[in-house]
Amino acid sequence: MTTLTRAELARTIDHTILRADATRADVAKVCREAREHGFYSVCVNPVHVPDVAAALAGSDVATCAVVDFPLGATPSAVKAAEARWVVAAGAREVDMVINVGALKEGRRDEVEADIAAVREACGPALLKVIIETCLLSDAEKEAACRLAVAAGAQFVKTSTGFGKAGATVEDVALMRRVVGPDIGVKASGGIRTREDALRMLAAGASRIGASASVAIVTG
């Protein structure tokens, strides 16, 4: 992984701005950076999706939106409606948060159905499932990954970045082991340097979520 070029590393990154105080000007700056450096996507809250899709039109940078972020605690029908809205507005990828409480209570059928409802609502868009690893035991992480795959998600993702901790090498390796080679693993939360990103990729991540993306690729 240390032999990755700057451009190759950039294509693993979802350039992210999810702050509550993000303005349109802030989001426009992130879009310019994504085009300049060739990041894989720009990941934003739903309200910014139309502006991002317009700003990235004609580029290779995808528009990504979070759904039911950061808690994952709204009803499935609401999550699905939000997913349909962001895809209609131009999102090509959707990052949803699971119902963590339901998972921890062992209501696994409910968790799988929740993910499946969003997967159906995404239509052609790719779905990543945020399991918020910092709140889960290893057994719960494994269960969450298996449920996401069973529900048809294309990716599992470590963290919202709003929890008590972000991605770890150990969690990424666990997730990769559980989902196998054909499902994506996104490491997100606390990744701020090239070295951080390379460690996650070496552990099995196929995508990095970061707000420090420019620093990661430029050093």
Active site residues: 95, 157, 186
186-216 b/e (C-beta count within 10 Å ≥ 16 → b) = bbbbebeebebbbbbbebbbbbbbbbbbbeb
Q: Are 50 and 44 in contact (CB under 8 A)?
A: no
Q: CB neighbours (10 Å) of residue 132?
A: 26
Least Cα distance to 41 among 67, 66, 11 occurs for 11
In a 13 Å sphere around the CA of 169, the CA atoms on its Cβ side amount to 9
Q: Tokens representing 62?
A: 């995808």
Q: Which amino acid is at 17?
A: I
